[in-house]
Amino acid sequence: MYSLRMTIIRDAIPSFEFSMPVVVIGAGACGLTAALAARDAGVEVLVLERDKRPWGSTSMSLGAVCGVNSAAQKAAGINDSVDTFISDVMDKTEGRADPLLTRLVGEHSGEVLDWLSSEHQVPLLLDFKWVGLGHSHPRLHIPPGRNGEELLALLSNACARAGVEIMTEARVVALYADSTDRVVGVRIERPDGIEDLGCEQLILATCGFGGNHEWVAQHIPEMARAQYFGHEGNQGDGILWGLELGAAVGDMSAYQGLGTLADPQQVVVPHPLMIEGGFLVNSRGQRFTHELANISGMCVPVLEQPGGTAWVIFDRKRHDTCLAHSVEQQQLVEVGAIKEASSWAELETLCQLPAGSLTAENAHIDAARKNATADRLGRDFSGLASLQPPFCAVKVTGALFHTQGGLQVNDEAAVVRADGRRLPNLYAGGGAARGVSGPDVTGYLPAMGLCMAITLGAIAGRSAARAACAVE
Ligand SMILES: Cc1cc2nc3c(=O)[nH]c(=O)nc-3n(C[C@H](O)[C@H](O)[C@H](O)COP(=O)(O)OP(=O)(O)OC[C@H]3O[C@@H](n4cnc5c(N)ncnc54)[C@H](O)[C@@H]3O)c2cc1C
């Protein structure tokens, strides 16, 4: 089923010149959080990162992290609960998410965000723009600058202050394991050659397999020909090692997609434009989907449209509001992706849409709004002001953002086999681990990718540190 490269070396294990109590592979949100947690427990930790500088999908993200029962929620008077979160996840996934993993994340996500903010100067502010969309309460926590690059910088700075060592240009190409499947070291490819390093505990924070086109075609055939808009370094290395060591994987067909990647400029069109009343049309000028029903799954209907593209339609007022707080909206302006016109007819010409098409779709929405009923696609626009000139449009396509399936972990973020027995000293989090999105694209709740990275990262770091101390 899996095309396994033999990347677990079981014989000819070298005597390692250097060994670390805890080694983390991958310097995204998961790896850096795991390293911070291990350091807080007083353990030496080394992070190995293949790139010249830590970047990962984390830097490409919007930086929004789901957290349940956080201090920020409590301060805002929000009465969230683990059970409400579990119920939201199960509603979204039609009961197909792993229940134990969902509870684990519900119980720890808020506490982990509080720890990052109070102990490590990683402030994540509760956001009220992304409400609804499957979360019963505001749960998205976003860095002040509202982007993933800032989140990664905050975590990197925290690691530097805590004394976490990050070795860059250090791609792990193989693990050394003994006959009990205990990982005893890693083989690292560096610009000046190959190095070996011993380890007592290993945390896999190598994200998913979105950059591995063969695996995407195998597990997510519907996205085999779609663009991948995540970090190319996410080749599924950690998942592969886990499999070779006998680990179980789950929900390998799950993923987060998005139907609103500016085409060809490759900038994510901020979703609040749509939440506030914008809509999508295809190249025939026709709406084809309820734009808020399934943000992640919207990549599928968009890719099904002629040419695999669509137009996001909004107005200048919404653009200005968004511009004030969205780096992506600023980028859309900078790259000239936004078309603007003083009338529907002019916008139709600019976007080469059939004459009268936008006028007709907007009139349909206005009529449904006036009657306070859902429109023909089931979307209710009541409470949202109608679009006013000047009108705006951005051409978009659908893309794969990140995969959601991966290694099965237990409540210590330790990687387990199909029978539930854990591997001796292997942990995983973030995109390398199974998520809580069920088996397909429809189950992804906003901000769960970073939530799984940060929450499981912290749990993995604490567990690995405990195990390392027990060994000493
Ligand atoms: C455009 C976009 C927007 C998104 N927005 C959000 C959002 O707002 N909220 C949210 O929750 N999620 C979002 N996501 C998803 C989110 O970015 C990921 O779920 C999250 O970043 C995963 O974190 P990670 O630490 O597991 O992986 P990453 O951040 O990708 O880090 C993995 C690291 O491992 C390194 N690595 C891989 N293999 C090796 C190896 N063999 N040796 C050494 N290093 C290796 C990689 O180079 C990389 O730096 C978004 C994704 C995209 C693409």
Which pLDDT score, from 0 to 100, does residue 376 have? 95
| C-beta 267 within 6 A of ligand 1 | no
Structure tokens at 377: 């696609």
What span, in angstroms and rounded, lies between the C-alpha atoms of 37 and 82?
23
Question: Computed from CA positions of residues 393, 395, 400, 401, in that sequence, does the dihedral angle turn out positive or negative?
Answer: negative
| C-beta 250 within 6 A of ligand 1 | no
Smallest CA-to-CA distance from 431 within 248, 289, 230 is with 230
Contact 37, 457 (CB under 8 A): yes
Residues sharing a CB contact under 8 Å with residue 216, sequence separation 6 or more, in sequence order: 209, 210, 223, 224, 228, 400, 403
* Ligand 1 mutation pick, 146, 147, 197, 206, max ligand atoms within 8 A of CB: 206
Q: How far is the CA of 403 from the centre of ligand 1 (A)?
A: 10
Contact 22, 446 (CB under 8 A): no
Structure tokens at 446: 């906003």
What span, in angstroms and rounded, lies between the C-alpha atoms of 340 and 142?
30
Which pLDDT score, from 0 to 100, does residue 6 have? 58
Interior angle at CA 17, CA 12 and CA 19, nearest 5: 95
Token pair 């609960």 is at which residue? 81
pTM above 0.95, yes or no: no
| C-beta 211 within 6 A of ligand 1 | no
Contact 274, 261 (CB under 8 A): no
What span, in angstroms and rounded, lies between the C-alpha atoms of 290 and 207?
30
Smallest CA-to-CA distance from 414 within 460, 454, 455 is with 460
Coil, helix or strand at residue 25: strand
Q: How far is the CA of 260 from the centre of ligand 1 (A)?
A: 19
| Residues facing residue 169 across a β-bridge | none
What span, in angstroms and rounded, lies between the C-alpha atoms of 153 and 179?
40
Contact 14, 188 (CB under 8 A): no
Q: Splitting the chain (472 residues) into consecutive groups of 10 residues, what average pLDDT does each group show?
A: 67 94 98 98 97 96 96 97 98 96 98 98 90 88 94 98 97 96 97 96 98 96 93 96 97 95 95 94 97 89 96 98 91 97 98 98 95 94 95 97 97 98 98 97 94 98 96 63
What span, in angstroms and rounded, lies between the C-alpha atoms of 462 and 33?
10
| Residues facing residue 201 across a β-bridge | 22
Smallest CA-to-CA distance from 223 within 375, 387, 71, 400 is with 400
Q: How far is the CA of 297 from the centre of ligand 1 (A)?
A: 19
Which pLDDT score, from 0 to 100, does residue 327 have? 87
Which pLDDT score, from 0 to 100, does residue 225 have? 87
Which pLDDT score, from 0 to 100, does residue 1 have? 43
DSSP notation for 91-130: HHHTT-S-HHHHHHHHHHHHHHHHHHHHHH----EE-SSS
Q: What are phi and psi of 134, to 5 degrees?
A: 105, -20
Q: How far is the CA of 58 from the centre of ligand 1 (A)?
A: 4
Coil, helix or strand at residue 150: helix
What are the boundaries of each domain within the chain? 8-254+404-471, 256-400
Structure tokens at 394: 């951005």
Coil, helix or strand at residue 154: helix
- The model's pLDDT over 367-401, given as tens digits with 9 standing for 90+, comes to 999 999 999 999 999 999 999 999 999 999 999 99
Q: How far is the CA of 66 from the centre of ligand 1 (A)?
A: 15
Instruction: Using CA atoms of 73, 142, 239, 251 in order, give the dihedral in degrees to the nearest 10.
Output: 60
| C-beta 172 within 6 A of ligand 1 | yes
Q: Which atom of ligand 1 is nearest to the CA of 451?
A: 11
Q: Which helix (H) or strand (E) holds 360?
A: helix 357-370
Which pLDDT score, from 0 to 100, does residue 146 have? 87
Contact 165, 47 (CB under 8 A): yes
| C-beta 401 within 6 A of ligand 1 | yes
Which pLDDT score, from 0 to 100, does residue 471 have? 65
- The model's pLDDT over 149-205, given as tens digits with 9 standing for 90+, comes to 999 999 999 999 999 999 999 999 999 999 999 999 999 999 999 999 999 999 999
Q: Which fold has domain 256-400?
A: Flavocytochrome C3; Chain A, domain 1 (3.90.700)
Which of the following CATH numbers is that of domain 8-254+404-471: 3.30.1490.390, 3.30.565.10, 3.50.50.60, 3.30.530.80?
3.50.50.60
